[in-house]
Amino acid sequence: MDPKALRQAFGTFVTGVTVITARDRDGTPRGMTANSFTSVSLDPPLLLVCVGKSAGSYPVFSTTESFAVNILHEGQTHISGTFASKSADKFQGISHDSVHTGAPVLTDSLTWFDCSLHQRVDAGDHVILIGQVQAFGTSTAAPLGFCRGAYASVKDPLPTGWLDTHGMVVSYLVETQRGVLLRDDGKGGFVLPRARRRRPEAQLLLEGSAGLQLFPETMFLYSVFDVADDDPGQLIYRARLAGDALPMDLPADLHVFDFDDIPYDAIPTNEMRSVLRRYARERSDRRFSIFVDSDDGGRVAILDGDTRSWAQHQNDIQ
């Protein structure tokens, strides 16, 4: 049987593209690109992925007790290429975090699954890792497809009602001394940095860096809105960077724009462009508002004065 012809035949099955990740015994993150991924069971929640024994990361996956599967979106072909390469530091500039097991989770991926090892099965020139899902997350981005050895586009990937409309994407509008912080979305646009929790934190954790320290007294709700019925809601906090400079290990996809040079044409949605324009106007007087959308175009409440803690407010009214 011709191995090359067989590989081409296998390649006619259209798949997504994943990056599977784990940590070696020293705690160093390791990862590789793989498209041999399959869901296995809902009860218990199981999935599997196959790792070639010739892969550079095989020794790690052959002994690890936990791993993550990160499904890539259409704007992440460069990440697929990086993790398919023999680069010594594949995580350089790649945003990642630990969620449950400690395995590296690529935070900007289409979907991620954080797994403990359920079973390891030897299978010819590969090993099959069956993982039990301990945590997962997903987004509305279009998936990165793969077929016949090349990337493929997926048309209309999100059916109406597929995603829970009550889900919320939490973003931070972070002002620095030089401007506002925006993240390259990998598709030619810019978005706000995202957070994992709905509650505002004094440190905005970013994959690949120690995180951004924020002034707690400047953090406050700024906008709440839906882009579409089948998209998650948007929850945006405003904040200011603590200190004079950005950290040296700031991920490569984060950029600071002067308020006069915000690339509005590269902001993906009208709603987010409106948020940034409103903030650029209001910051000159340090007199901010809170916006909540509604059927007739939304409601805005002006905040007069600085924010203060609930405990301080209780003392003042007693």
pLDDT digits 0-9 by tens, 218-257: 888 999 887 655 566 788 999 888 876 676 667 778 899 9
Please report the pLDDT score of residue 206 as a whole number.
62
Domain locations along the chain = 12-152, 168-314
Q: For the chain, which residues score pLDDT lower than 50? A: 164-165
pLDDT at 165: 44
Strands 220-226 and 289-292: parallel
Instruction: Compute the distance between CA of residue 32 and CA of residue 11 in angstroms, rounded to an integer.
Output: 18
Contacts 24+ apart (CB under 8 A), 39-43: 40/130
Using alpha carbons, select from 240, 239, 216, 225 the residue that is nearest to residue 310. Answer: 216
CB neighbour list of residue 181: distance below 8 Å, 6 or more residues apart: 172, 174, 175, 192, 193, 212, 241, 254, 255, 256
**Tokens 């979106």 sit on residue:** 73
CATH number of 12-152: 2.30.110.10
Question: Which fold does the domain 168-314 belong to in CATH?
Answer: Nucleoside Triphosphate Pyrophosphohydrolase (3.90.79)
pLDDT digits (tens, 9 = 90+) for 148-194: 888 888 776 666 555 544 567 888 999 988 899 998 888 889 999 88
pLDDT given for residue 18 in this prediction: 94
Residues 36, 3: Cα–Cα separation, whole Å? 17
Pairwise CA distance, residues 125 & 52, whole Å: 6
CB atoms within 10 A of CB 93: 17
Q: Are the beta carbons of 226 and 165 closer than 8 angstroms? A: yes
Predicted local confidence at residue 20, as pLDDT: 96
Is the Cβ–Cβ distance between 135 and 100 less than 8 Å? Answer: yes
